[in-house]
Amino acid sequence: MEVDSGSSSPGRKRRLLRLYYSSGPEPPPQQQEPEPCDINGAHFDPEIYLNKLRKECSLAELMDQESCMVKQIRSLDSDMQTLVYENYNKFISATDTIRKMKNDFKKMEDEMDCLSTNMSAITEFSARISGTLQDQHTQITKLSGVHTLLRKLQFLFELPARLNKCLELQAYAQAVSSHRRARCVLQQYSHMPSFRGIQDDCHAIMERLAHQLRQKFRDGGTSAKELSECVELLLQLEEPAEELCDKFLSHAQTRLEEDLRSLEAELKDSTVTNVSGDSARNPSSPSETLMSIHLISPASRADILEFIDRGCNEFVSNLCLVIASYQELFINRPQEGNLAFKNIPQMANSKLHLFVDSLASKYFSLVERRIQEEKGVGDNSLLVRALDRFHRRLQAVSKLLPGSAVPSQGTEIVIQAARERIKQYLSALQSFYLESLTDIRQALAAPRLSVGGTNTAGGGVHTGACTPGKEAPPSLPELLSSLSNSILNQIKSVLASVHLFTTKDITFSNKPYFRGEFCSHGVREGLVVSFIKFICQSSRNFCESAGDRGGSTPPVLLLLLSRLCLDYETSTISYILTLTDEQFLVMHQSPVTAVTALCEEAREAAQKLLNHYVKVQGLIISQMLRKSVETRDWVNTIEPRNVRAVMKRVVEDTTSIDVQVGLLYEEGVRKAHSSDSSKRTFSVYSSSRQQIRYAPSYTPSAPMDTNLLSNIHKLFSERIDIFSPVEFNKVSVLTGIIKISLKTFLECVRLRTFGRYGLQQIQVDCHYLQMYLWRFVSDENLVHFLLDEIVGSAAHRCLDPSPMEQSVIEVICERG
Amino acid sequence: MEDDAPVIYGLEFQARALTAQTAETDAIRFLVGTQSLKFDNQIHIIDFDDENNIINKNVLLHHAGEIWHISASPADKGVLTTCYNKTSESRVLTCAAVWRMPLEWESGSHESPDDSSNSPQTLELLCHLDNTAHGNTACVLWEPMGDGKRVISLADSHVVLWDLQESSTKATISSSATLEGKGQLKFTSGKWSPHHNCTQLATANDTAIRGWDLRSMSQIFCIENAHGQLVRDLDFNPNKQYYLASCGDDCKVKFWDVRHINEPVKTLEEHSHWVWSVKYNHSHDQLLLTASSDSRVILSNMVSISSEPFGHLVDDDDLSDNEETHHEEKSKEPLQDSIISTYEEHEDSVYAVEWSSADPWLFASLSYDGRLVINRVPRALKYRILL
């Protein structure tokens, strides 16, 4: 039993200890089923344990259990004894300590008693002293109160004088602050007559002060800083803010308008200088100096950069200053309680916007006028820099005044200027082109007139590339290459100038307009494409105007231009456009003119020019032939001895045209052309045909003749188109010209009546033409056919058709 | 809709002169004059049977010489004028004369054509329009819609107005005018205006077109350089009094408003060689024929400058509902100026083209090799114009 209680008490202690030390949650006791059989457990029940043992264990085990248990009990017993011995000394010393403490406390209690009596004595003394001092203290407090009041009163009484003094000294700020301090008091005690007097005085003074301030405000001379001071004071004086805003702005306006006026005067001055030219530039001209006395000296006519600089430095910076001080005064001012003025910032802001907008628009109109005066296309960089500066300075305004439309309007102006510029460049290019053409005309005309003409021609083409020799007139290919080179150079230089608009360091170059529309729509379409179109258009115009008014354009020019257009079609256009696209990194957002379309147009123009060339040259030769047929009396002509001079002329002209065209165009292909087709075989062939043709006309069976004629027609199943488009080669061009000439010859012959010798003359002439013309054409049969037709028609129109012997014809022709 | 094939008729001789028989309004009849220096020249009377597509021809002999121009009286079916070449003493002179066709030619027409050519009848000379002082006669013009009493001849640089008296057997000069100017001026062709009470005449010489007032015989307008080259022919718009078409060696056909002669109203450039003849359709002036030495005849539809630019104008009162819808449809898609068709039946230069006086949808063209082609306006177009 002793063992049991001993074993149970340490378990409880442990639990208590655990309870004390660990604030953590204890495992809930219900979890453990009370185990009566656990000998160390809290719920150990010896009876149950014994019964259990008895039930479960054999005798031997029981014996073992018992002996084991006895052993354990003994060891526990000895442990207990050792513990008791060990702790005994500690109990003893604890008892001693407690006893000693008891003594010490007793002493301390005495001392505490003594202290409390002393304290009560002190309290008593203190109460007595304060009782005696009470009266004096209240008196002092009263006195000091009176003192401050008196000082305030003194301040008030002195206030009018002080204010007057401040006014005299113009120390307005002090006056206002003084008055502000007194104002409330005066207001409060205004029912007392003396105070009323002061207040009235003050009012009068302040009135005067305000008046003076306003005067100063109205006065133009004050600087911006003083002005702002004024405004601040007036605001403190509870002047109506709106009125102040208006006044402030109107004052600023007069000053800014003065800036603008001076700018405008400069603008006028520059136009005057423009008009009066050199005399205005002369600094010695006194009237000019007088006129622009406060402007920059008239000697140096302000360029646009200077103008913009002036505008920026004077107007824009002043404007910024005004905006800044205005905002300082009216908008960003810390609100001082006064609820009535809560809407000041909005009101002030809207006023400011109106003000800035109206002034800026005036400024912009001036700038626009100035920009419009920039007509010369020589140096673009100046304009670009000026625009850049203009744009850059406006950014300051946009920073100061975030919602303002001014910067966007400024950008608009820049864009407008850029557009205008492109137009100017286009017209410059166009006039350059036309000038070049005039030069070429001169160069073409010059060799015939004088050799000296080449000089002007060479100088006229600006590149100077074509001054080959002073004596030799420039040949066609040289003229062509110099023309196309100078045009190309001009385009390149214009592109370079325009490119300045998009340089990285220009502020506006990153605006969306300059990245997209300017490149694609402005430069590519508006400048390059338009120029190419202009070339084509003006070329086409040559064809139309010259047709009616009879060869105002030299045919050689037509030929030259046709080659130029063809060159453009094959290479130049795509080169120029690629160049443009590369330089400007054109993003094709909007549809642009395709290279192929332009090439198409150029080719069309080239074709038209060449057709027209053929037509003009053909008509020149036709005219000769027609005159020669129409003016002669073919009935009464003499027997032919010679080839008529006009035929020789025709052959000569054709040869020179051949040379001319050969300079610019390739040879081209001939149809079934055998180089050794000698004159003889050809003559026999044609003469035999002629014999057959003539034969029926002697016989009375007329119907056969027409049949034969139509049969011959059928040999050429292909219908001959006289004025038909030609190909871009020499043979085709010459074929066209010869076709036109011979067809004219034919039609003229059909309108005449011939005598015997008239027919023979035609025979001789046609044979002569046959001898020389076949070599120029693509299909010699064409010449044969047309000449046969001519001779045939002449035979029909002959009163006495007796043809000449072929051999005689040949002799005459070979002779000359 | 299939169009009828062209009808082709071949003459034995070369020919330039063609006219419709103006006074004949029932039968489709054309007169062709031949050019031959060696044989007797003929006038072929070509009757076209529209229903059977058959040509009947009659030949009359014209002994006087080769015919350069022919023109039929607007009043008398049997009367016509020719300009012909007369060769005498190795001189060639172009003369003009008024002729009457023998009355019996029609009776012989029903025999076989081969027989009739064997025994051709001869034209009866009424009178000469000659004045040797005037020189070569380029053409003779009858007064349009007149009584067949007045003709104009253009001879070298002279305009001569003749009065025909005593059933055209006597011609007297009633007035004349002369073209003044540098060099040798020669009229190439002319046209008597059907407007202004037939008091105006237009002539062509070289590159200029001139207008004349016949009452005063003075020039009223002059289009210098109307064409780049020679002006070959001109024609008045039958319905618009100030409008005039001209053609020439610059391959162009130009339309003029004679009140504004600085610029042509319109220019066509469809031919590839000289244009020799231009003819307005008598009833529908948007239809225009041109003949050229490129062997082509071109029929154009010049709606925009015609008297009916918006199609055939019909009074609203006359329209039944049905027609009204038709009208609307048409106004939705008005005809554009266009080339209707190019006729390529000829193989030589075509010097003359004429509308029939009886059937406004039919025309003839004549090429130098003696081929006469009769064509019709395409049916589709005809119905579009009519409906």
In whole angstroms, what is the distance from residue A786 CA to residue A469 CA?
A: 45
Name the average pLDDT for chain B.
83
ipTM: 0.86
HEC letters along A39-80: CCCCCCCHHHHHHHHHHHCCHHHHHHHHHHHHHHHHHHHHHH
**In-domain check, residue B255:** no
A468 burial type by CB count under 10 A (0-12 exposed, 13-18 middle, 19+ buried): middle
Sheet holding B150-155, edge to edge: B137-142, B150-155, B158-165, B170-178
* Tokens 């015989």 belong to residue: B217
Using an 8 Å Cβ cutoff, are A791 and A785 in contact?
no
B53 phi-psi bin (left φ>0, alpha ψ -120 to 50, beta other): left
Most confident option among A171-185, A442-456, B255-269: B255-269
- Report pLDDT for A89: 83
Per-residue confidence band for B104, with pLDDT thresholds at 50, 70 and 90:
low
- On whether residue B339 sits in a domain, the answer given is no
* CA–CA separation, A580 and A536 (whole Å): 19
Mean pLDDT of B210-229: 89
Q: Is A113 on the interface with B (CB under 8 A)?
A: no
Distance CA A310, CA A307 (A): 5
Among A591, A589, A571, CA closest to A579: A571
Task: Please name the helix (run of DSSP H) or strand (run of DSSP E) that holds residue B47, with its range, or none.
Answer: strand B41-49
Say which residues have a Cβ less than 8 Å from residue A616's Cβ, sequence separation at least 6.
A546, A551, A553, A555, A558
DSSP state, residue A800: S
* Mean of pLDDT values over A542-559: 67
In terms of DSSP bridges, do strands B338-343 and B350-355 run parallel, antiparallel, or are they unpaired?
unpaired
> Is residue B350 one of the residues assigned to a domain?
no
- Length of chain B equals 387
As to burial, measured by CB atoms within 10 angstroms (0-12 exposed, 13-18 middle, 19+ buried), residue A363 is buried
CA distances from A97 to A105, A110, A473, A696 (A): 13, 21, 142, 177
Q: Which residues contact A43 (CB under 8 A, 6 or more apart)?
A: A34, A35, A36
Which of A210-214, A778-782, B46-50 ranks highest by mean pLDDT? B46-50
**Mean pLDDT lowest for which of A84-88, A294-298, B85-89?**
A294-298
Listed residue (A204, A202, A210) closest to A182, CA to CA: A202
* Partner-chain contact A548 B13, CB within 8 Å: no
For chain B, say whether A799 makes contact (Cβ under 8 Å).
yes
DSSP state of A500: G
Residues 6+ apart with CB under 8 A from A115: none
| Residue-level pLDDT at B114 | 47
Task: Judge: A550–B225 Cβ closer than 8 Å, yes or no.
Answer: yes
In the structure encoding, which two tokens stand for residue A34, read together?
A: 């009370």
B264 is a domain residue:
no
How far away is chain B from the Cα of A730, in angstroms, using its nearest Cα? 21
Using CA atoms, how far residue A106 sits from A119, A670, B193, in Å, is: 21, 152, 163
What span, in angstroms and rounded, lies between the C-alpha atoms of B228 and B247?
A: 10
Question: B32 in a domain, yes or no?
Answer: yes
Alpha-carbon separation of residue A568 from A573, A595, A598, A600, B364 (angstroms): 5, 11, 9, 10, 48
Among partner residues B37, B349, B369, which is closest to A710 by beta-carbon distance?
B369
Beta bridge partners of B376: B362
Contact list in B for residue A724 (CB cut-off 8 A) is 272
- Element holding A662 (H helix, E strand): helix A645-664
Q: Between A and B, how many CB-CB pairs are < 8 A?
A: 68
Q: What is the pLDDT of residues A702-749, one digit of tens each?
A: 344 444 554 555 455 456 677 777 788 888 888 888 888 888 888 898
Our CA angle for B68, B74, B76, nearest 5°, is 100
**B222 in a structural domain:** no
Chain B contact set for A743 (CB, 8 A): 273, 293
- A747 neighbourhood in chain B, CB within 8 Å: 274, 293, 349
**HEC sequence for A594-652:** CHHHHHHHHHHHHHHHHHHHHHHHHHHHHHHHHHHHHCCCCCCCCCCCCCCHHHHHHHH
Cβ of B272 and A722 within 8 Å?
yes
Tell me whether residues B369 and A706 touch, CB distance under 8 A.
Answer: yes
DSSP-derived letter for residue B196 is: G
How many alpha carbons fall within 13 Å on the CB side of residue B325?
A: 2
The CA distance from A77 to B336, in Å, is 139
Q: What's the whole-number mean pLDDT along residues A366-390? A: 75
pLDDT tens for A31-65 read 555 677 777 777 788 888 888 888 888 888 888 98
CB pair distance less than 8 Å for A747 and B274: yes
Instruction: Give the C-alpha separation, B206 to B232, whole Å.
Output: 8
Q: What is the pLDDT of residue B310?
A: 66
Is B145 domain-assigned?
yes
CA distance B340 to B303: 12
pLDDT exceeds 90 at position B278 = yes
Mean pLDDT throughout A641-656? 89
Of the listed ranges A263-267, A606-610, A765-769, B218-222, the least confidently predicted one is A263-267
Whether A286 has a pLDDT exceeding 50, the answer reads no
Taking only the tens place, the pLDDT of each residue in B150-184 is 889 888 888 888 888 877 788 888 888 888 877 77
Distance CA A554, CA A539 (A): 13
A635 CB within 8 Å of a chain B CB? yes
DSSP B89-145: TTEEEEEEEEEE--GGGGGGGGS-HHHHHHS-EEPEEEEE---GGG--EEEEEEPTT
Distance (Å) of CA A187 to CA A156, A182, A192, A197, B361: 12, 8, 10, 12, 112
Predicted TM-score (pTM) of this structure:
0.68
Q: Is B153 helix (H, G, I), strand (E, B) or coil?
A: strand
Judged by CB atoms closer than 8 Å, whether chains meet at B229 and A619 is answered as: yes
Whether residue B112 lies inside any domain: the answer is yes
Beta pairing partners, B278? B290
B229 contacts in chain A (CB < 8 Å): 619
pLDDT at A249: 77
Contact B268, B296 (CB under 8 A): no
Q: Which chain A residue has its CA at the smallest distance from B254's CA?
A: A548
Q: Where are the beta strands (DSSP E) in A307-443?
A: none
Sequence-distant (≥ 6) Cβ neighbours of residue A263 within 8 angstroms: A307, A310, A311, A314, A315, A363, A366
Domain of B133, in residue numbers: 13-178
If you average pLDDT over residues B60-66, what whole number do you get? 86
- Encode pLDDT of A418-451 as tens digits: 888 888 888 888 888 888 888 888 887 765 443 3
Q: Which residues pair with B71 in a beta bridge?
A: B81
Q: How far apart are CA B149 and CA A128, in angstroms?
A: 166
Determine the Cα angle at B305 with ends B299 and B307, to 5°.
Answer: 95
Question: Which tokens is B241 given?
Answer: 């009094």
CB burial class (10 A; 0-12, 13-18, 19+) of residue A686? buried
A690: tokens are 């002629």
For A:510-569, CB contacts with B below 8 A are 547-550
Q: Which of A739, A747, A798 should one mutate to test binding to chain B, selecting the residue with the greatest count of B CBs within 10 A?
A: A747
Q: Which of A8-12, A402-406, A456-460, B74-78 has the lowest mean pLDDT?
A: A456-460
Residues of B in CB contact (< 8 Å) with A are: 10-14, 36-39, 85, 87, 90-92, 225, 227-229, 250-251, 272-274, 293-295, 344, 347-349, 368-370
Among A614, A629, A723, A800, the residue to mutate for chain B (most B Cβ within 10 A): A723
Q: Give me Rg for the CA atoms of chain B.
A: 21
Whether residue B14 and residue A796 make contact (CB cut-off 8 A), yes or no, is yes
Question: Would you state the structure tokens that stand for residue A72, as one six-digit string?
Answer: 């354990």
Quick one: tokens of A754?
């011939």
Q: Are A285 and A351 contacting, i.e. CB atoms less than 8 angstroms apart?
A: no
Using a 10 angstrom Cβ sphere, with 0-12 exposed, 13-18 middle and 19 or more buried, the burial of residue A184 is: exposed
Structure tokens that stand for B104 in this block: 């019996």
The amino acid sitting at A398 is: S
Question: What is the rounded average pLDDT for all residues in chain A?
Answer: 74
**Chain A residues touching residue B225 (CB < 8 angstroms):** 548-550
Is the pLDDT reported for residue A264 higher than 90?
Answer: no
How many angstroms away from the CA of B216 is the closest CA of chain A?
32
What does the alpha-carbon distance between residue A425 and residue A349 come to, in Å, rounded to a whole number?
43
* Dihedral sign for Cα atoms in the order A220, A222, A226, A229: negative
Which A positions 407-426 lie with beta carbon below 8 A of chain B?
A: none
pLDDT band at B299 (very low <50, low <70, confident <90, very high): very high
Count of residues making up chain A: 816
Distance CA A543, CA A553 (A): 9
Is B92's CB within 8 Å of A753's CB?
A: yes
Element containing residue A7 per DSSP (H, E): helix A2-21
The partner residue sitting opposite A635, judged by closest CB among B11, B92, B272, is: B92
Q: Residue B129 belongs to a domain with what CATH number? A: 2.130.10.10
Residue B94 tokens, joined: 């172009």
Mutate to test the interface with A, among B83, B270, B348 (most CBs of A within 10 A): B348
Number of domains in chain B: 1
Q: What is the pLDDT of residue A367?
A: 80
Tokens of A693: 């043709």
How far is Cα A354 from Cα A360, in angstroms, rounded to an integer? 10
**Alpha-carbon dihedral sign for residues A73, A79, A83, A85:** positive
Determine the pLDDT at residue B321: 47
Checking DSSP bridges between strand B91-100 and strand B124-128, what pairing results, if any?
A: antiparallel
Contact assignment for A755 to B90 by CB distance below 8 Å: yes
Q: Which among A549, A709, A724 has CB closest to B272?
A: A724
Is B37 in contact with A799 (Cβ distance < 8 A)?
yes
For residue A341, which of A244, A242, A249, A248 has the smallest C-alpha distance? Answer: A242
